[in-house]
């Protein structure tokens, strides 16, 4: 069972719809028993890092998510803010993240690029830094849709899944074992996003 975590911060319907389009089904839930039964988990997110962590704590979702991610090794995909929550901390607030991947979330620093404006918004080329189960099946070079002002910085390049250039090259995808995060929105990225979600469901 694929569970999309509802912690009042995500674009849940669009993710559910793209999963349906590729022939699979999912459940949107914040119920601990449902999450405990998940074979795969998607952690979406739009908004503030601090508010997101507060919601997860208030809904008592962090213990079950830790159990699934760190003990049971359930495949987990964090999307946009959901990816940032996988890191240790964010410059957007003073709270700790889930800390599943040794990285921090920082705001874009583009003062050297006067033609660019934050947030980074729109389509952008994305390069897989390593061979991974998410990296196959693309008939064209993958491009994804982004809307964000912050991005992850990994302590080790071993955790960088994809890179994208916005002024400078940044980690647009991160991973560690069963845990994957992407800064872009696959649910808004048409055929490229469908392929990525298909890879996650069928190969991870």
Q: Which residues are designated catalytic?
A: 80, 185, 187
Q: Cα separation of 84 and 192, whole Å?
A: 21
Contact 163, 126 (CB under 8 A): yes
The 3 state secondary structure assigned to 161-178 is: EEEEEECEEEEEEEEECC
* CB under 8 A, 24+ apart: contacts of 56-61: 56/7, 56/85, 59/7, 59/30, 60/32, 61/5, 61/7, 61/30, 61/32, 61/35
């Amino acid at each position: 069972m694929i569970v999309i975590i509802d912690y009042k911060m995500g674009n849940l319907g669009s993710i559910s719809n793209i999963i349906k389009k590729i022939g699979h089904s999912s459940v949107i839930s914040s119920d601990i028993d449902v999450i405990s039964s998940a074979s795969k988990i998607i952690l979406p997110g739009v908004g503030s890092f601090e508010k997101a962590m507060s919601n997860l704590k208030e809904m008592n979702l962090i213990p079950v998510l830790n159990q699934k991610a760190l003990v049971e090794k359930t495949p987990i995909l964090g999307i946009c803010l959901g990816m940032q929550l996988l890191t240790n901390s964010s410059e957007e607030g003073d709270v700790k993240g889930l800390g599943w991947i040794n990285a921090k979330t920082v705001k874009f620093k583009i003062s050297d690029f006067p033609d660019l404006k934050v947030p980074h918004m729109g389509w952008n080329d994305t390069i897989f830094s390593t061979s991974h189960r998410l990296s196959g099946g693309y008939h064209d070079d993958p491009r994804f849709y982004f809307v964000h002002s912050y991005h992850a910085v990994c302590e080790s390049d071993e955790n960088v899944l994809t890179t994208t250039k916005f002024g400078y090259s940044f980690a647009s995808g991160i991973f560690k074992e069963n845990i994957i995060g992407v800064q872009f929105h696959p649910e808004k990225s048409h055929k490229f996003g469908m392929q990525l979600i298909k890879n996650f469901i069928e190969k991870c």
